[in-house]
């Protein structure tokens, strides 16, 4: 067992995939990384992987986070989650991945999802009555055939 402080430990030669994804700040927790790996959203060297798969520098990792699909090459290994600037040094995104991600972002910007433009939820009862009145639909009272005045 080494008595060196954590900052003085030698760099790891291989590390678990879920731990590296967490340290590289792709996922907030290791359990989220495990869930994404189990769902098949993370591939290593074009093969499906398990969370316990050990990765080495030079491995190509394809992962999907939200709308983005990235392909990165592992440059360094780390067992600790550091600041974002340090995490960015652990990988290098491929040029094809970067261009595809930017093109997808541009497509989303030009043609947004229609549901995302809705600022409010479902109309309230009053909103529905106002809509019906504006469309010229008969209200609640006009639906009944019997009235007190008859």
Per-residue model confidence as pLDDT tens digits over 40-96: 999 999 999 999 999 999 999 999 988 789 999 999 999 899 999 999 999 999 999
pLDDT in tens, 117-136: 667 778 888 888 888 888 87
Cα–Cα distances in angstroms (integers) from residue 130 to residues 123, 125, 134, 138, in the given order: 10, 9, 6, 11
For residue 7, the number of C-alpha atoms closer than 13 Å in the C-beta half-sphere is: 1
CB distance 97 to 71 below 8 Å: yes
Q: What is the pTM of this model?
A: 0.67
Domains and CATH numbers, the chain: 10-112 (3.10.290.10)
CA separation for the pair 20, 24 (Å, rounded): 6
């Amino acid at each position: 067992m080494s008595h060196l402080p954590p900052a003085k430990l030698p760099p790891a030669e291989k590390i678990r995939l879920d731990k590296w994804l967490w340290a590289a700040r792709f996922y907030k927790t290791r359990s989220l990384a495990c869930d994404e790996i189990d769902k098949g959203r993370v591939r290593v060297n074009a093969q499906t992987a398990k969370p316990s798969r050990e990765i080495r520098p030079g491995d190509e990792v394809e992962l999907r986070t939200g709308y983005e699909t990235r392909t990165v090459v592992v440059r360094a290994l780390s067992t600790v989650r550091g600041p974002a600037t340090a995490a960015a040094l652990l990988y290098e995104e491929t040029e094809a991945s970067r261009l595809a991600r930017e093109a997808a972002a541009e497509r989303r910007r030009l043609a947004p999802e229609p549901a995302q433009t809705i600022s409010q939820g479902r109309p309230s009862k009053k909103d529905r009555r106002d809509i019906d009145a504006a469309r010229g639909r008969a209200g609640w009272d006009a639906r009944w055939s019997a009235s007190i005045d008859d």
